[in-house]
Amino acid sequence: MQLPLPKAVDTQKVLAAINPSKDADGLTPSNLGNLVLGFNAITPCTPLAIVALLEQYKVNMSGQEVLIIGRGTTVGRPLSILLSQKPHNATVTLAHSATKNLTQLLQKADVVISAIGSAHLLKAEMFKKGAVVVDVGITRVGNQLLGDIDPEVVNTASLFAPMPGGVGPVTRVMLLKNLIQLANNER
């Protein structure tokens, strides 16, 4: 199933109807519950892709102040659980639309992952110098896809995964990885 669904469709009801053993996205209630409990059989694709990127670029997450902006079930919530578990051991703060001190949190975060879907809301001067920045948010503006983070952050960040072109392609790879894992479990 391709998310997001139209607003008139109850996404949670549709996800609950999917057989967890066929859930390559890792978003059924059963698979998300397994993630919470540390039984990471099938992990949601986008959080898995973010972790893979951070590992590829040798970002040590242990003890790092990680700020995740966005609490959705596709990225924010599962990623916060994944990064706080072993072996990552990050100190995770989850910010959302009611967070009052976002600028202060950005100034203190070693790693920032944004998944809110608000075009270029976060400006370069808001971030701690040298932070690792991952943009997962997506907004269509005319015929363009824009991320949450102004691309000028490349001048202050130590690493920057932009949107488009950063996490998205790796997410597709993680979807295939999960699909192969599920197929192997059926044998």
* pLDDT tens-digit readout, 67-125: 999 998 889 999 999 999 888 999 999 999 899 999 999 999 999 999 999 999 999 99
Has residue 110 been placed in a domain?
yes
Pairing mode of beta strands 111-114, 132-135? parallel
Find the domain containing 164 and state its range. Answer: 45-169
* pLDDT tens-digit readout, 130-159: 999 999 999 888 999 999 999 999 999 999
Percent of the chain with pLDDT over 70: 99
Whether residue 118 contacts residue 90, with contact meaning beta carbons closer than 8 Å, is answered with no
Could you tell me how many residues make up the chain?
A: 187
Number of domains in the chain: 1
Has residue 126 been placed in a domain?
yes
Has residue 101 been placed in a domain?
yes
CATH of the domain at 148: 3.40.50.720
- The model's pTM: 0.89
Instruction: For residues 69 and 77, give the distance between their C-alpha atoms in angstroms, rounded to a whole number.
Output: 10
Has residue 146 been placed in a domain?
yes
What's residue 40's pLDDT?
66
